[in-house]
Amino acid sequence: MKKAISTDKAPAAIGPYSQAIEVNGVIYTSGVIPVVPETGEIPDGVEAQATQVFVNLVNLLQASGTSMEQVIKTTVFIKEMNDFSKINEIYSKYFTGVFPARSCVEVARLPKDVLLEIEAIATK
C-alpha cells in the first residue's frame, strides 16, 4: 500500500505527482528543487540553490517521519558539471556518518530553469 506525503514546507508539486510516497516504510521523494516554499522564489547562485534544496528535502523527510540520517540513495541532477565541487561541499554538510549511495548526472534543463534537483530514498 502506498501513501502520499505532502507538506507546505517544501515546494508543491507542479504536475500530476506527489512530493513523496511511502511504501513499506521506505520514502521515495520526487525531485526537490530550490524554490522557497513561502515565496515561490528561487535563490541566485548554485551554493544558495543547493542549500535551499537541502532545506526543502529536510522538511519533506521530516513530514514523512524520517530524516537525512535515514537517506540511503540520492540522485542529483545538475545543470553544469563544473558546479559539482560546489554542490558536493553543500551536500556533505547535510549528511553525517555513512553517506548515502548517489548518482549525479548533468542535464540540459530542469524545471523552472534551476541549477540542480535532488531526489532521495530513505527508510523510516
d(CA 54, CA 48) in angstroms, rounded, equals 10
Transcribe 54-108 into DSSP letters: HHHHHHHHHHTT--GGGEEEEEEEES-GGGHHHHHHHHTTS--SSPPEEEEEE-S
Q: How many domains are contained in the chain?
A: 1
pLDDT of residue 14: 86
- pLDDT tens across 46-103, in order? 999 999 999 999 999 999 999 999 999 999 999 999 999 999 999 999 998 899 999 9
**Active site residue: 48, 55, 68, 104, which one?**
104
Provide the domain limits for residue 54. Answer: 2-123
Q: Is the pTM of this model over 0.85?
A: yes
pLDDT of residue 85: 98
When pLDDT is cut at 50, 70 and 90, the band that residue 25 belongs to is very high
- Indicate if 104 belongs to the active site: yes
d(CA 32, CA 76) in angstroms, rounded, equals 10
What CATH number is given to the structural domain containing 15?
Answer: 3.30.1330.40
